[in-house]
Amino acid sequence: MVFLGDSAYHHFSYIFLTLIDTPFELVVFDNHRDDMKEVSTLLSCDGWIRAAKKLNNLEAVHILRTKNDLPRCLEHPIYLSIDKDVLSDRFLKLGWDQGAMKPEELLEAVELLCKEFEIVGVDISGEPRDALEMTRSEEINLELLKILLKDELSRVTLKSFSQRHRV
**Segment 88-136, tens digit of pLDDT:** 888 888 777 788 899 999 999 999 999 999 999 998 888 888 888 888 8
Q: What residue spans define the domains of the chain?
A: 2-165
Q: In whole numbers, what is the pLDDT of the chain averaged over residues?
A: 80
Q: How confident is the model at residue 158 (pLDDT cuts 50, 70, 90)?
A: very low
pLDDT of residue 165: 47
Q: What is the per-residue pLDDT across 8-20, written as a single tens digit (0 to 9) for each? A: 556 667 888 888 9
Q: DSSP alpha helices (H): ranges in the chain?
A: 13-17, 48-52, 103-116, 131-148, 150-165
2-165: CATH, from 3.40.190.10, 3.10.450.50, 3.40.800.10, 3.40.640.10: 3.40.800.10
The C-alpha atoms of residue 61 and residue 28 are separated, in whole angstroms, by 8
**0.95 cut: is pTM over it?**
no
Pairwise pLDDT comparison (156 vs 84), residue with the higher score: 84
Cα 48 vs. chain centroid, distance in angstroms? 14
| Contact yes or no for 55/92 (Cβ under 8 A) | no
β partners of residue 60? 25
